[in-house]
């Protein structure tokens, strides 16, 4: 069995689209997007977006950190988790999310 030490992700991007939720035990939870550059894998096309949202989830103090830095550029450390759902008794895999373990603002370099 793999441990969470193997499942690590580090991303830098801008926090956007925060939605607040509450866990059954009353803790704050958020769902957000981390806007990151979309890698170009072939010839550039006018219809291709330059940025892509990565889904984030966080609870407690990590949720508060995301809220405090909405629309800012941050470094995110966390683990990947794939959500799933059931339909007609069959399991279907959904999107991959980053479960936030740390959120640190970064200073953007000024323009000379």
| CATH number of the domain to which 65 belongs | 2.40.50.140
Please state the domain count of the chain: 1
Rounded Cα distance between 48 and 43, Å, is 10
Classify residue 1: in a domain, yes or no. Answer: no
Write the pLDDT tens digit of every residue in 17-55. Answer: 999 989 889 889 999 999 998 877 767 666 667 888 999
Average pLDDT over residues 75-97: 85
Q: Determine whether 44 is exposed, middle or buried from the number of CB atoms within 10 Å of its CB (0-12, 13-18, 19+).
A: exposed
Q: What is the pTM of this model?
A: 0.77
Classify residue 16: in a domain, yes or no. Answer: yes
Average pLDDT over residues 7-23: 93
Expressed as residue numbers, the domain containing 75 is 9-38+50-105
Classify residue 22: in a domain, yes or no. Answer: yes
């Amino acid at each position: 069995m793999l441990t969470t030490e193997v499942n690590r992700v580090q991303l830098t991007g801008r926090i956007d689209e925060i939605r607040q939720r509450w866990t059954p035990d009353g803790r704050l939870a958020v769902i957000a997007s981390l806007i990151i550059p979309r890698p170009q894998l072939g010839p550039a096309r006018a219809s291709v977006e330059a940025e892509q949202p990565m889904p984030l989830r966080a609870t407690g103090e990590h949720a508060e950190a995301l809220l405090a830095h909405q629309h800012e550029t941050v470094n995110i450390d966390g683990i990947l988790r794939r959500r799933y759902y059931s339909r007609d008794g069959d399991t279907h895999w959904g999107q991959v999310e980053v479960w936030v373990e740390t959120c640190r603002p970064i200073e953007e370099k000024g323009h000379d």
